[in-house]
Amino acid sequence: MARSRDGIKVVARNRKAFHDYFIEETYEAGIVLKGTEIKSIRASRVSLREGFVAPRDGELWLMDVHIAPYDQAGTWTHDPTRPRKLLLHKREIVNLISDARERSYTIVPLRMYLRDNLAKVEIALVKGKRQYDKRRAIAERDAQRRMERDWKRTK
């Protein structure tokens, strides 16, 4: 994947999250990694699909995100789905945890990227969509595509 102008290389996106949730707020967080994990991230061997963020002891942890084992590491590799600590400011952590508990929101990862060779994850405070919301979003997207297609034909 190519780098953008601001030095960001997107490694993985969670497209399922945009389909299943309404995104309320987004935050950028650093990740505590082991040695071979960053090499797998640079090789874009990451899956955010099943991932979520869980609070533990006043900290936020990235759970069920799959970072594939690094092939050249041999026996000194990492557990692919181990919990990883997220690095945020204390007030952001407090706000996220309180919103998740009080307003029944969920915290999910949206994308993982490299910014100046540091692994970052964009997390979001989300609210689940109902089935009819998903259908409405699909219908609106199809209608938009049809309008764009018709507009291109008339040009």
pLDDT digits (tens, 9 = 90+) for 48-90: 999 999 999 999 999 999 999 987 877 777 788 999 999 999 9
Under the banding of pLDDT at 50, 70 and 90, the label for residue 91 is very high
Domain ranges of the chain: 8-129
Is CATH 2.40.280.10 the right assignment for the domain spanning 8-129?
yes
User: What is the sign, positive or negative, of the torsion defined by CA atoms of 14, 20, 26, 32?
Assistant: negative
Under the banding of pLDDT at 50, 70 and 90, the label for residue 4 is low
Q: What is the pLDDT of residue 107?
A: 95
Q: What is the pLDDT of residue 1?
A: 55
Q: What is the pLDDT of residue 117?
A: 86
Q: How many CB atoms lie within 10 A of CB 97?
A: 18
pTM passes above 0.95: no
3-state helix, strand, coil in the chain (%, to 5): 35, 35, 30
pLDDT digits (tens, 9 = 90+) for 93-126: 999 999 988 888 999 999 999 998 899 999 999 9
How far is Cα 142 from Cα 80, in angstroms, rounded to an integer? 37
